[in-house]
Amino acid sequence: MSAADIIILSNGPGEVTTWVRPLVKVLRQLLGENREQVRISVVLSPCPHSTGKEAEIVNSYSEVDRVQGAEHFFGFFLRGVTVQNWDWRKHGVVIFLGGDQFFPVVIGSRLGYRTIVYAEWEARWHRWIHRFGVMKPEIITKAPPKYRHKFTLVGDLMADLAVEGEGMGRGGDGEMGRWGEEEIKYFQPLIGLLPGSKSAKLSQGVPLALAIAEYIYSIRPQTRFVIPVAPTVELSALASFANPNQNPLIRKLGWAEAKLVMPGDQLLSQSPEYDVEVGDTEKANSNSPSQSFLKTPKGLSVELSKAFPAYDLLSQCCLCITTVGANTAELGALAVPMIVLIPTQQLEAMRAWDGLPGVLANLPVVGAGLAKLINWLILRRKRLFAWPNIWAQEEIVPELVGQLQPQEVAQVVIDYLEHPQKLEIMRSRLRSVRGEPGAAQKLAELVKEELESF
């Protein structure tokens, strides 16, 4: 095999964590660590769901050699030149893992590289793409017969997350489902709180999640809570959304506030009036001395974890309370039961739609008003929002939409905790729709085949 370049085209936070990450791991296992032989570059394109930290996340993958951020994409797409003027080897493969399927057509043609598209729902540009790795067999049957030889059924890349989370704690092995209601009273369940990663979501998500947790804690004080903090969010930034001096929604809606408690002597101030407490971790429920957490006035401590990816931690959760987004796909792949919240108190906060709605909702000046209208219209259609529900085409995890009140949501959670068999049913249904792992291996083998054709 000649020395070659692999270019991975991707875009949003979900794609880089659930598609790019497993594939580059398998590529290195299959093709080796010799960077003189195989070099992996990731080029990101703009995405309405972007946090702006996708390049930083991909840079943390040791398997990847070079990364270009989305802000420089169109210069590369239109002129073929990266911002750092990368060189390109004579032979290579362009892999599509998010964005527009037209991108690999142009980039592959310009460089003279073979092209492979991972198609989750539909495959396009059949004539110009060399190979397709598809999630579902229906994608193949929809293709014109003369192009079907290009298609290979690889499965769902997100299902490979199940391998990392399998057998890790209570969330992965169904332990709660084997316990009776009397035993559950003495069990310390761990509940994950996933309030989002963008400011628009965090302003609602953090105080709402804390208020829900406070109510659950008042009824079931043995319950533990953790926030797997997105790698794009600093602890101080997260804590600011729990600070009523910085987040007016807290007082407006009567939701919970909290202070950030850091271990040891790490000082970090949210504001002159709302300082971080230091060294108080010994008093927190179930916190280790090295654990940072959010502490509410009612005595609740919510652990903060910066582990990334957080699959081990999530797999230990008996249940997660989450917003919509790629996180629902990750939880689904890990078979972790969840309750999905779509609060409508601040409709303009939801702006991460695909296509034209996403463009309109993010326009300057008029974007907030258009976002309210778009969200109102979308929510009226009563569509499914969580990825496991979309996969199944039915609601297998609860989606709570509307003017959500913390106590009402908390009662739903408590009902699940008191009836663990319901959690086990949800977990089983999640396993049934996530597909079998192995897609990354099959896709990597397609790449190897193309590289060996040179």
Q: What is the 3-state secondary structure (H, E, C) of the chain?
A: CCCEEEEEEECCHHHHHHHHHHHHHHHHHHHCCCCCCEEEEEEECCCCCCCCCHHHHHHCCCCCCEEECHHHHHHHHHHCCCCCCCCCCCEEEEEEECCCCHHHHHHHHHHCCEEEEEECCCCCCCCCCCEEEECCHHHHHHCCHHHHHHEEECCCHHHHHHHHHCCCCHHHHCHHHHCCHHHHCCCCCEEEEECCCCHHHHHHHHHHHHHHHHHHHHHCCCCEEEEECCCCCCHHHHHHCCCCCCCCHHHHHCCCCCEEEECCCCCCECCCCCECEECCHHHCCCCCCCCCEEECCCCCEEEEECCCCCHHHHHCCCEEEECCCHHHHHHHHCCCCEEEEEECCCHHHCCCCCHHHHHHHCCCCCHHHHHHHHHHHHHHCCCCCCHHHHHHCCCCCCEEEECCCHHHHHHHHHHHHHCHHHHHHHHHHHHHHHCCCCHHHHHHHHHHHHHHCC
pLDDT of residue 163: 66
Contacts of 227 (CB under 8 A, 6+ apart): 192, 193, 194, 195, 209, 238, 294, 302, 303, 304, 305
pLDDT of residue 164: 64
What mean pLDDT value characterizes the chain?
84
Q: Of 82-96, 336-350, 427-441, where does mean pLDDT reach its minimum?
A: 336-350
> Which residue in the block uniquely carries the two structure tokens 């059949």?
126
Residue 230 sits in the same domain as residue 336: yes
Query: CA–CA separation, 278 vs 263, rounded Å?
Result: 6
Residue 263 sits in the same domain as residue 137: no
Q: How far apart are the first and last CA of the chain?
A: 7
pLDDT confidence band for 363 (50 / 70 / 90): low
Residue 194 sits in the same domain as residue 71: no
Residue 303 sits in the same domain as residue 325: yes
Residue 29 sits in the same domain as residue 131: yes
Question: 310 versus 232: which is more confidently predicted?
Answer: 310
**C-alpha distances in Å from residue 394, one per residue of 21, 155, 373, 386:** 29, 20, 26, 10
In which domain, by residue range, is 208 found? 162-434
Query: CA–CA separation, 360 vs 46, rounded Å?
Result: 15
pLDDT digits (tens, 9 = 90+) for 247-277: 999 999 999 999 999 886 444 434 444 444 5
Residue 97 sits in the same domain as residue 228: no
Residue 140 sits in the same domain as residue 244: no
pLDDT of residue 162: 67
Residue 65 sits in the same domain as residue 19: yes
pLDDT confidence band for 333 (50 / 70 / 90): confident
pLDDT of residue 283: 42
Residue 362 sits in the same domain as residue 310: yes
- The CATH code of the domain that includes 66 is 3.40.50.2000
pLDDT digits (tens, 9 = 90+) for 212-223: 999 999 999 999
pLDDT digits (tens, 9 = 90+) for 369-422: 655 565 555 556 667 888 899 888 899 999 998 889 999 999 999 999 999 999
User: Would the CA dihedral through 369, 375, 380, 381 be positive or negative?
Assistant: positive
Residue 304 sits in the same domain as residue 395: yes
Residue 91 sits in the same domain as residue 193: no
Domain count of the fold of the chain: 2
Residue 235 sits in the same domain as residue 124: no
